[in-house]
Structure 1
C-alpha cells in the first residue's frame, strides 16, 4: 500500500461519499446490526415458549451491515439444535442430551470433522445401533451421516447445500435456514489462531480471547470431492467471524462491500461458482491483519480496495486462500477450472490497472453513475433517499418477524382448548424474570408479550361472554391493557371488539375515536405477514421517521398497524360479520391448502378497514347517520387506495355485509364478487353470495 497515486486521495473521498449515500454509513450499519440482533431474539423466544430447545442466530452480510439494496444479500439464520451436544473430550459429555464426539484426524478435510455417536446413559461410544443416518467404519465407530439434518427442514423451503432457503418473498431478503449442532470453539485446526498473542496488531488479544470463549457449530455438509463427503461435517466459526466483523471500521466495511460489487459486476455472471463473497471477506480480514489500523480511513479507501483486489488476485493465481480462523482450510482448493482461471485473473488485472475507471462500470446501486456525478461535483439524484429507504425496510422487517412468530404461536395453539391455551400463554408470560435474557432478549420479549397479552385478554373475555363470568372479565381487561401498545391499532381494536360484543357502545366509540386520531394515514404502514404478496414501496414519511430515530422498538407502536387476528377460542369477541372468516374454506378448498395456509382458520383483517367497520357498526347503533356513512365511505376508500393491505378480500366481505345492512344488495353482491376475484379459494365470499342470492330470490 506504499505506492499511492496522486488522484487516489480525492477518489477515495468521493467513493466514501457515494458509499454513505447508498447506505454504507456508520448510522445504517448500526441500524442493521440492532435490527437483526433483535430479529435473532424474536425468532428464538417463541420456539422456546413452544418447548423447542433451539436458538436462532443470524450471520452474514445483513447483520454485519456489509450489504446494500442492490446486492440483495440473504439473511442467514442458523438454528442451533440444543438437545444435541458435540464434544471434543469426554469431560463435556452431558446426561440427557444426544452426544456426539468430534473426530479430527489426518483422514478428515481441514475445517471439517466426523461425528461419532455416543451412548445416552454414559460417556461411552455407541457400539450396536446402525440406522439410515449412520455407518459403522472399519474401526467399529458408528458415524453420523450429514444427511441427518435434512429432516429438520420444511417442505416449503428449497435446499442449497446445508441451507434450507426461503426465496422470492416479495419485499424481503431471501432467507437461508441452516440447522446445526452446537459445540465450543476449540477445534484442533483453530488452535493456532486462538493461541495468538497480538498486543498491537489486529485482531487484538482481547478479541481472540473473546472468540476463544464463544461457541461454534457443526453443519451438515462435507467437503466437495472428499472420500468422506457424506460423513464429514463442516465446522462453522460464524460466531467468532461475526464478532470480528463487528470490530471493523467503516472504511473496512466499505472496502468489503465494494469487493462484492466488483465480484457481482465482473466475475459472478460469467463464473458463478468461482469466487464467493466469503472469500472476499476472508481476503479483507487477512489484509487488515497485515496492516496498521490507521491505514484504513476514508481518504485511503481506493488504495485499500486496490490492496484487497491485488491480494485476491494472488490468491486466485496460487489457488490458495486460507480460512481466517481455521487456516488449514484452503477455501480455493479445486475451485477454478483450467478454462476459467486465466479469464478471472485477466478480469481482476483489468480492475487493478484501470486506475478506478472500472468502478464507473458498476451498475449495482447505481454506484458508477453516482461516482461519476460526484467526480463532476454534482449531487447524485435521489441518493439521499436511499438510507431512509433502508431504515424503513429494517423496521418493516422487525414487524415481519414479530407477526410471523406471533402467528406461529397462535397456530400451534389452534387445536387446544381455551384453558390449555391460556396456560401456555401464561407460561410464556412468566419468563419476564429470566436471568439468562440479554438486553436485546428483554426488548424482544416485551414486543412479543404485548401481542400475547391482547390474545390472552381476548380469550378470557370470550370465555366471560359465554359464561357471564365477571371476575374473568376484569382479568381480561387487565391483560388487554398490557397489549394496547403492540402497534398503533391492533391491540386497541381488539379491546374495542370486546366492548362492542358486550354492547358497551360508548366505550367502543371512544376507543375507536382515539385510534383514528392517532392513525396518521401519511405515515402509518399496515403490516401483514400471513402469506406472501406484492408489497408496494413504503411511505416516505414512514422511512424518514425510521431513519431519524434510533429507538426502533418505540417506533413500532406509533407508525405500524398489524393485522387483527382472532383464533376460534376468541370467537365471542369477534363481530358476527368477521366470524365467517374462521370458516372460509369449503371441503374442496381444503385439498388446496399448503403448510403456510393455516392462518385461514382464523379471522384476520387489516387494522384500518376494521377500524372503519367497527365505527360503522357503532354509529349504526347510536343512530348517528352522517358518521355511519362517513365510516362506510372510509372502508371503500381504504380498499381502493391503501396499497399494502394483506386481506383486501376480507375488507370487501365486511363492506359487502355493511351494504346489505344499508339495503344496497346490488352493491353488496359487487363487493363479494370483487372479493372472490382477489381470492378464488378459501374465501367466505362464496357463503355470502349464496346467502345473498337466496335472500334476493325469497
Structure 2
C-alpha cells in the first residue's frame, strides 16, 4: 500500500523533477529581484510555496527586510559594518523566553517604519514588534495574521512578514550545529549558518514583553532543510500536511486549530535527524508517516513541541494546554487506535490508496517518470514560469538594472535549464515594460528623439516576442495602436489569431495533450513557448499601454492592485475593434460581435472564471465607444457582479454613469 500511496502523492504533490523545477524557478526570480534591490531591501518567497508545494487553496508567504539595517548579537560584531551606511540593531535576550528577543536600536534611523515603531525603555530605544506590524498593515492595506500582514493580490492570498535580518547565527542555536552528525550534510549546515537568521514581528504570548519582542525566524534555513530531503521524506511531509488540513483541522475555525503545518514540518526534521527510521523509500512511506505521527502525539500529550533549532523554545502556544490540549490528545489518540485506516478520512489520501485496498495483489510501479507526460510537465513548467515573470519596474533606470543583472546571470554555467527559461521570460517582461515607459517619457519630445526611441522600442518588442510565447506579440499590436499605426497593428493581430487557432494551443491548464505532443514533441522549451503557448496579458497599472484602459488602471491602483490580468482573446478583440474604428469602420461590428459572443458564452476555456470582471468591463468599453450604450450598461453591471479580482469597481461605476447621460 505504501507504493500506491507514494505514486498517488507524486501525482498530487509533484514528482521529484516537478518539485525541483518549482524551486529553481522561484530561486532565480528571488536572486534577480534581490540583486537589483540592493540596499533598498530584499524580498523572498517563503513557506510551502517556496518549498515546492502547489496545494490548492494555500496562500503565499513573503519575507521582506531592508538591507541597510542589520541585527547583531553582541557589540563586537559592529566592527564588520560601516555604521554610516548601516543602521545597527542589537539583540537583548536577557528577559525573553528562548527563541525570542528585544531589538535595541544602536544608531539613529531614518526609516519611517522603524522610527514609528520605536519605544523608549530605560533611556534606550527598542523597536516594538506590534507597532512595526501595525505600520506595515496600515501601509499595505492588509490585516494582521500572526507576525504577517495578510491580504489579497488578485486571486491569491498572501502573508507578508516584514522583518529584520542578521548575518550571524544565533548563539542559542549553536547546539543545533553540534547535532548535525548524519543530517543534513556538512555543506548544507555551513550554508545555513553562513546565512544567519531573521526576526519576525511576534512576541511570546506568555513573555513579559509580548508587544515589543521579536521571534527568531529560521525560515531560510528550513527551506534549505526541505530541499535536503529525499523525495520520500518530502512526500511524508506533504502527507502530514494533508492529514492536518483534511482530517485534524477539517471543519474547525481558525481559533480552534491548535496544530499547524509548521508543527508537521518540525516533526519530520526531528525524525530524520534522530535516525528513527533506517530507510526512507516508497516501500516504507506509511511507516515514515506513522513514526512522525507518533512523535506529534507524544508532543501533544506532554504539551511540548521543541523548536528544531532551539529546543528550549516550546512552539506550542498558550492555546495548547489545559482542556484544549486534552481534547486534542483524545482526538489524535482516537486516530492512533484506529491505525492507518484513519487516513481514509482524507479525500486526497483515500483516492491514492483505495484501489490497493480493494485489490491487495495489485502490482505497483514506483517509477515517477511514468506518472507525467511531456505535455503535462510542460504545462506545469510554463505555468510556473508565467506566474513568476513579474518584476517591479517603477522607472526606466530599474528596467536597465534588471536587464543588466539578467545578462550577467545568463552567462553562468551553474544555471539549470528551468532557470534559463525563467530568465528569458523575465527578460521579455522587462523589455515590454521598458517599451511603454520609454514612450511615456518621450512622446512629447522632439521628432528626432521620438524616432530613435521608436526604433529602440520596436526592436525590444520583437526581441521580447522571441523570448516569450504567442501572446507576447500582442504587446507589439498594443504599441502599434498606441502610436496610431492601425494597419500594422491589425496585421499583427491577424497573425496572432492564426496561431491561437491551432488545435494544440496550451492556455492556462487547457490543452489537447495528444495534439500538443504531436506538434512540438522534442522541441526546446523556447520553441514550444513561441509556437504553442498562450498566457494572460499583464498590464502594470503604473504604465499606460492602452489609453482606453487608464480609468481601470487608476481604479485598481487606488485599491493597491498593481496589475491587470487580461485573457489574450479578450484583448485581441478589443485591439481589433479599436483599430477598425480608425482603419476600417465596416468591420467594427463583426469584431464586436466576436467579443460579445466570447464573453457571453465562454465557460472558462478562453476566459478563466477569475478574469470575468475585467472581461465584462472591456466588452462594455468596446460597446460604449461604438455607441451601444444599453449593451454597455448591461456589461458593466455584469462586471460588478463578478469576483472583484482587479478592484476596478470605481471605474465601472464611473462608466455606468457615463452610459446614463
Alignment TM-score, normalising by the size of structure 2: 0.79
Quick one: structure 1 residues 391 and 359, their matched pair in 2 at CA, closer, same or farther if it must change by over 3 Å? farther
1:227-376 → structure 2 map (5 Å cutoff): 227-269=208-250, 272-291=256-275, 294-332=278-316, 334-363=318-347, 365=348, 367-376=349-358
Contact 1:79 / 1:180 at 8 angstroms: preserved in 2?
yes
Q: 1:452 aligns with which of 427, 430, 435?
A: 430
Deviation string, structure 1 residues 373-399 (Cα, Å, up to 9, x no partner) = 33214999xx97999999857754653
> Are positions 1:539 and 2:528 aligned together?
no
CA shift for structure 1 position 141: 4.2
Distance in 2 (CA, whole Å) between partners of 1:327 and 1:594 is: 46
Report the 3-state secondary structure (helix = DSSP H, G, I; strand = E; otherwise coil) of the residue aligned with 2:13. Answer: coil
Other-structure match for 1:563: 537
Bigger mean CA offset, 341-350 vs 455-464: 455-464
Contact 1:97 / 1:120 at 8 angstroms: preserved in 2?
no
> Are positions 1:468 and 2:468 aligned together?
no
1:145-294 → structure 2 map (5 Å cutoff): 145-150=128-133, 151-153=135-137, 154-167=139-152, 170=155, 172=156, 174-196=157-179, 198=181, 201-269=182-250, 272-291=256-275, 294=278
Quick one: structure 1 residues 38 and 551, their matched pair in 2 at CA, closer, same or farther if it must change by over 3 Å? farther
Bigger mean CA offset, 33-42 vs 273-282: 33-42
Quick one: structure 1 residues 611 and 45, their matched pair in 2 at CA, closer, same or farther if it must change by over 3 Å? farther
Other-structure match for 2:560: 596
CA shift for structure 1 position 159: 0.5
Contact 2:432 / 2:461 at 8 angstroms: preserved in 1?
yes
Other-structure match for 1:125: none
Distance in 2 (CA, whole Å) between partners of 1:320 and 1:169 is: 39
CA shift for structure 1 position 673: 1.7
Quick one: structure 1 residues 608 and 349, their matched pair in 2 at CA, closer, same or farther if it must change by over 3 Å? same
Other-structure match for 2:618: 651
> Are positions 1:36 and 2:14 aligned together?
no
CA shift for structure 1 position 92: 3.5
Q: 2:49 aligns with which of 62, 67, 85?
A: 62
Distance in 2 (CA, whole Å) between partners of 1:108 and 1:682 is: 48
Quick one: structure 1 residues 277 and 360, their matched pair in 2 at CA, closer, same or farther if it must change by over 3 Å? same
Alignment TM-score, normalising by the size of structure 1: 0.75
Report the 3-state secondary structure (helix = DSSP H, G, I; strand = E; otherwise coil) of the residue aligned with 2:198. Answer: strand
Distance in 1 (CA, whole Å) between partners of 2:559 and 2:657 is: 28
Report the 3-state secondary structure (helix = DSSP H, G, I; strand = E; otherwise coil) of the residue aligned with 1:116. Answer: strand
Report the 3-state secondary structure (helix = DSSP H, G, I; strand = E; otherwise coil) of the residue aligned with 1:202. Answer: coil
Quick one: structure 1 residues 550 and 52, their matched pair in 2 at CA, closer, same or farther if it must change by over 3 Å? farther
Q: 1:675 aligns with which of 631, 635, 643?
A: 635
CA shift for structure 1 position 652: 1.6
Distance in 2 (CA, whole Å) between partners of 1:595 and 1:503 is: 31
Deviation string, structure 1 residues 535-588 (Cα, Å, up to 9, x no partner) = xx8425489979x999888766552333364879867xx5xxxx3432569xxx
Contact 1:487 / 1:562 at 8 angstroms: preserved in 2?
no
Quick one: structure 1 residues 674 and 99, their matched pair in 2 at CA, closer, same or farther if it must change by over 3 Å? same
Aligned residues: CA RMSD:
4.4
Deviation string, structure 1 residues 54-95 (Cα, Å, up to 9, x no partner) = 1112222222235633xx333221112212110123324432
Distance in 1 (CA, whole Å) between partners of 2:71 and 2:45 is: 21
Distance in 1 (CA, whole Å) between partners of 2:118 and 2:491 is: 62
Gaps of 5+ in 2: 365-369, 641-648
CA shift for structure 1 position 358: 0.8
Report the 3-state secondary structure (helix = DSSP H, G, I; strand = E; otherwise coil) of the residue aligned with 1:248. Answer: coil
Report the 3-state secondary structure (helix = DSSP H, G, I; strand = E; otherwise coil) of the residue aligned with 1:77. Answer: strand
Other-structure match for 2:126: 143
Q: How many residues end up aligned between the 2 structures?
A: 616
Contact 1:14 / 1:371 at 8 angstroms: preserved in 2?
yes
Other-structure match for 2:15: 25
CA shift for structure 1 position 264: 3.1
Report the 3-state secondary structure (helix = DSSP H, G, I; strand = E; otherwise coil) of the residue aligned with 1:402. Answer: coil
Quick one: structure 1 residues 214 and 554, their matched pair in 2 at CA, closer, same or farther if it must change by over 3 Å? farther
Contact 1:184 / 1:216 at 8 angstroms: preserved in 2?
yes
> Are positions 1:98 and 2:98 aligned together?
no
Q: 2:599 aligns with which of 639, 644, 647?
A: 639
Report the 3-state secondary structure (helix = DSSP H, G, I; strand = E; otherwise coil) of the residue aligned with 2:454. Answer: helix
CA shift for structure 1 position 512: 2.2
Distance in 2 (CA, whole Å) between partners of 1:130 and 1:493 is: 46
Contact 2:96 / 2:102 at 8 angstroms: preserved in 1?
yes
CA shift for structure 1 position 509: 4.2
1:366-405 → structure 2 map (5 Å cutoff): 367-377=349-359, 395-396=382-383, 398-403=385-390, 405=391
Other-structure match for 1:418: none
